């Protein structure tokens, strides 16, 4: 009799789950995130993709243009086009705020603090903004300089965004870019990603998300730009993680709807407790002040997901009525965000 009651309960629970799933609306988070769009050496691309930390940076020498009177006096300096870097086509409509441009460069002569940069933002190859900014210093040290911008653009699926840079100065300079450290590029805030409900069942954790500009997450797993951390400094093994194509969703948006295709990352053999996902596009401090072996001390990940392990009639290993959920925390410089939860129609 007890077996009959158990099987009856399981059957009823299974029917409940099937009915609930049939009627359920897909939940997702679509927070504002600030991503770095890096200058890439290959194809002069602009991309959130970051190389592995051990990969060397690219370098570009810019020769100053001016008149040299008898080799004694320089005059009539001219602007020099450094180049244009352009993104791939965006996957879905998105509003962007381009807040700043970071550039690593060094003077190749005796220093010049009078140089001028002209920073132009382009959409589909057409200029939408143009800003002039001074050197900030004489360039004798190889450091990052940040130039503030205030450009907002509305992209539709298929659009590209780009940056053209012009240098005017007396001395030759060298720009360093396309590297985990030398992250020359644009800082852009927008709703770049859709995050769907993750699952933690037994020893398996799965996350699912869609990107406006998809990148290679196998590379990011190898680099440690994404990881699962747990209580007592537990860290899941990224070699036990795999990346696969996800699902297709139609998302309601302000001006219609967007069709998105997700990416799924699955970790197996996860044995820790209190599991949280830490996700970025570059190195970060996964210990937040501890003896970290990855990233920069004091630099939090772009995004943290606190996961809830599924539990149900068959116990903590999943089973019926497992109801995983998630709480999202976003790290954007100087601003704390509470992500909004949306539902599809």
pLDDT tens per residue across span 199-258: 999 999 999 999 999 999 999 999 999 999 999 999 999 999 999 999 999 988 777 788
When pLDDT is cut at 50, 70 and 90, the band that residue 16 belongs to is: very low
CA of residue 59 relative to chain centroid, distance:
23
Nearest to 216 by CA among 25, 340, 45, 334: 45
> Which pLDDT does position 286 carry in this prediction?
83
β-pair type (143-155, 94-107): antiparallel
Between residues 289 and 270, which one has the greater pLDDT? 270
**CA–CA separation, 141 and 134 (whole Å):** 16
Q: Could you give the dihedral angle defined by the CA atoms of residues 94, 180, 122 and 190, in that order, rounded to the nearest 10 degrees?
A: 20
Task: Specify the CATH superfamily of domain 34-190.
Answer: Galactose-binding domain-like (2.60.120.260)
Q: Residue 340 — pLDDT band, cuts 50, 70, 90?
A: very low
CA 127, 132, 138, 144 torsion: positive or negative? negative
- Confidence band of 287 (pLDDT split at 50, 70, 90): confident
314 has a pLDDT exceeding 80 = no
Q: What is the pLDDT of residue 330?
A: 54
pLDDT band (50, 70, 90) for residue 181: very high
Residue in this structure with the two tokens 């100053």, named with its chain if needed: 64
Location of structure tokens 């965004």: 161
Helix or strand (DSSP H, E) at 258: strand 256-267
Joined together, the tokens standing for residue 331 give 């790290």
Q: How many CB atoms lie within 10 A of CB 107?
A: 23
Mean pLDDT of 324-331: 55
Is residue 9 very low, low, confident or very high in pLDDT (cuts 50, 70, 90)?
very low
Q: Which of 113-122, 218-227, 231-240, 322-331 has the lowest mean pLDDT?
A: 322-331
Separation CA 272–CA 1 (nearest Å): 38
Q: Cβ distance 63 to 82 under 8 Å? A: no
Residue 65 has pLDDT above 60, yes or no: yes
Per-residue pLDDT, 68: 87
């Amino acid at each position: 009799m007890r077996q009959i009651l158990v099987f009856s309960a399981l059957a009823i629970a299974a029917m409940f789950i099937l009915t609930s799933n049939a009627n359920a609306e897909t939940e997702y988070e679509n927070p504002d995130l600030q991503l770095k769009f890096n200058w890439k050496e290959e194809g002069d691309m602009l991309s959130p993709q970051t190389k592995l930390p051990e990969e060397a940076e690219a370098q570009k020498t810019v020769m100053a243009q001016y008149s040299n009177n008898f080799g004694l006096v320089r005059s009539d300096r001219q602007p020099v086009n450094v180049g244009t870097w352009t993104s791939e086509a965006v996957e879905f409509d998105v509003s962007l705020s381009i807040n700043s441009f970071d550039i690593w460069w060094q003077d190749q002569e005796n220093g010049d603090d009078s140089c001028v940069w002209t920073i132009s933002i382009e959409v589909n190859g057409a200029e939408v903004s143009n800003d002039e900014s001074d050197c900030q210093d004489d360039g004798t040290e190889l450091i990052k300089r940040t130039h503030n911008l205030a450009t907002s653009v509305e992209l539709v699926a298929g659009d590209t965004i780009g940056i053209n840079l012009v240098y005017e100065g007396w001395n030759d300079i060298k720009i360093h870019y396309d590297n985990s450290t030398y992250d020359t590029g644009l800082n852009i805030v927008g709703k770049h990603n859709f995050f769907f409900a993750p699952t933690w069942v037994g020893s398996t954790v799965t996350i699912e998300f869609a990107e406006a500009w998809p990148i290679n997450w196998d590379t990011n797993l190898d680099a440690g730009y994404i990881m699962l951390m747990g209580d007592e400094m537990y860290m899941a093994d990224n070699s036990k993680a795999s990346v696969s194509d996800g699902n297709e969703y139609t998302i309601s948006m302000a001006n219609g709807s967007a069709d998105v295709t997700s990416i799924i990352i699955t970790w197996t053999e996860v044995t820790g407790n209190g599991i949280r996902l830490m996700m970025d596009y570059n190195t970060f401090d996964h210990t937040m002040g501890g003896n970290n072996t990855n990233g920069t001390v004091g630099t939090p990940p772009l995004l943290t997901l606190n996961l809830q392990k599924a539990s149900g009639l068959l116990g903590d290993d999943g089973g019926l009525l497992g109801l995983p959920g998630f709480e999202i925390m976003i790290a954007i410089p100087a601003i704390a965000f509470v992500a909004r939860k949306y539902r599809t129609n």
